[in-house]
Structure 1
Amino acid sequence: MSITFENIMTMAISSSVTMLFAAIVMDFMLFEKKGGVKKEKRSIVATGTMTLFYLVYFIVIWTRIGAIDVQGTTAVRALRMTGTILVALGSAMNILGRISLKGNWADHVRIYKDQTLVETGLYGIVRHPLYSSLMVMMYGGSLAYLNWASALLTTFVFIPFMYYRAKQEEIFLMQEFERYANYSKRVGMFFPKFWR
């Protein structure tokens, strides 16, 4: 049995998504029942609703709704490989962001009594690397599977939801840390500020 381009792409994407889900499960096991909560707000945008989005996204790709049917030219393979690399990169970014965040992670909007403001690593590049990394993964998947419908879902459903969630978190962080206002001026929300 020969290994095809399609097999390699599927293995890379499946491995990346599996590692990300393992990291999410680990965060739940380590931090969801963590005590010392100072402030908390339940959010409609949490792991459950994000998982629902992923299921819809997966169904769109799996059923090929919005798939662009083109032959496997070198340019098409390059696009699909770029998408696969973006999925893997996004997964790695998310896992690294979780490692930096440590015990500050929560499924809902929460400030702990021992909360710290993380400004290093990926958090020195973007304020919400977990959300940014998921966007990279979603667009990467759309490119890997040449699917315009999944790209539209990401643009018009996923990103607005992430923006809403990030703004909720930032209200708490602004109240908790005096230097957060300066941090948010220096560092972009989802994308790096190249024009400082």
Structure 2
Amino acid sequence: MRVSNRLALFNIVATLAYLGLAILGGGGFSAFFSHPPLVFLTIVFLIMSGVGLFSRGNLSSVEREDRGNRWVLPVFALIGVLSAWLPAYADRIGILTFGGDTMRWLGVILFVIGGVLRLWPVFILGLRFSGLVVIQPGHSLVTGGMYGVIRHPSYLGMMINAVGWALAFRSGVGVMLAVLLLVPLIARIRAEEALLHSQFGAEYDAYCARTARLIPGLY
């Protein structure tokens, strides 16, 4: 429970900091919330963050961990800070922006889709969902449902979520940051798959042979 409480506190602080940076970049509360799509984006963001508090995801390293992959965590954090502030700032001053409110609403829709796809696997995996690349006691493969089609649905959700956030601000800079997210994300995927292969061997190889990493037919 102590770990869960710390994780919940971190979630709350990170959520408020992320929104705070966006509002700051957007020119303050009045300017930011003068756009109805951004009002809705904020509401959805807060709801999803609240829902995430009820998941059983964790940061425990438990039985075995690929510690060499921890470098992606500060990279994710840095890209996250830039993504929070820079798209809103670029939107406010009109640098590399495109489209109008239709583009903003498209971004909000993608943000919702990505958020659901990001959170759903966390609840499916429960305690097996870790912020670290780990093998836990009694670890077993989940190969049904969405995991029967793609192996990393939560990461696909993260990408869709990031693109949606960028488009909500009509931000070309935000889209570039979302693309940059692929670098640590692919490194994370490869580390996870190597660790799972070392644990489950032929069973995991057979699973990989019938599924895609992120997008069926592409990757």
In structure 1, what is the Cα distance between the partners aligned to 2:183 and 2:98? 29
Tell me the residue number matched to 2:190.
167
Question: Is 1:39–1:111's contact at 8 Å kept on the other side of the alignment?
Answer: yes
Q: Which runs of 5+ in 2 are unaligned?
A: 1-32
Q: Single out whichever of 133-142 and 58-67 deviates more from structure 2.
A: 58-67
What is the rounded CA distance, in whole Å, between the counterparts of 1:79 and 1:166 in structure 2?
30
Aligned pair count reads: 181
Deviation at 1:23, TM superposition (A): 5.1
State whether structure 2 residue 111 is matched by structure 1 residue 87.
Answer: yes
What is aligned with 1:153?
177
Task: Give secondary structure in 1 for the equivalent of 2:135.
Answer: strand
Unaligned runs of 5+ in 1: 71-75
- Stretch of structure 1 that moved more, 180-189 or 81-90: 180-189
- Normalised by the length of structure 1, the TM-score is 0.80
Q: Which residue of 2 aligns with 1:18?
A: 46
Structure 1 residue 32 corresponds to structure 2 residue 59: yes
What is the CA-CA distance between 1:189 and the residue it aligns to? 0.9
Q: Please give the residue correspondences for 1:67-146 in structure 2 after superposition, counting only pairs within 5 Å.
A: 67-68=96-97, 76-146=100-170
Task: Supply the distance in 2 between the matched residues of 1:133 and 1:86 (Cα, whole angstroms).
Answer: 9
What secondary structure sits across from 2:78 in the alignment? helix
On the 8 A contact 1:53/1:158 being kept in 2, the answer is yes
Task: Decide which moves more: 172-181 or 162-171.
Answer: 172-181
Task: Provide the rounded CA distance (Å) in 2 between the counterparts of 1:129 and 1:106.
Answer: 14
Paired residue type of 1:88 = V
Describe the shift of the 1:194–1:50 C-alpha distance in structure 2 as closer, same or farther (beyond 3 A): closer
How far apart are residue 112 of structure 1 and its match?
0.7
Over aligned residues, Cα RMSD in angstroms? 2.6
Scaled by the length of structure 2, the TM-score of the pair is 0.72
Structure 1 residues 32, 194: CA separation in 2 closer, same or farther (over 3 Å shift)?
A: closer
Structure 2: which amino acid aligns with 1:103? L
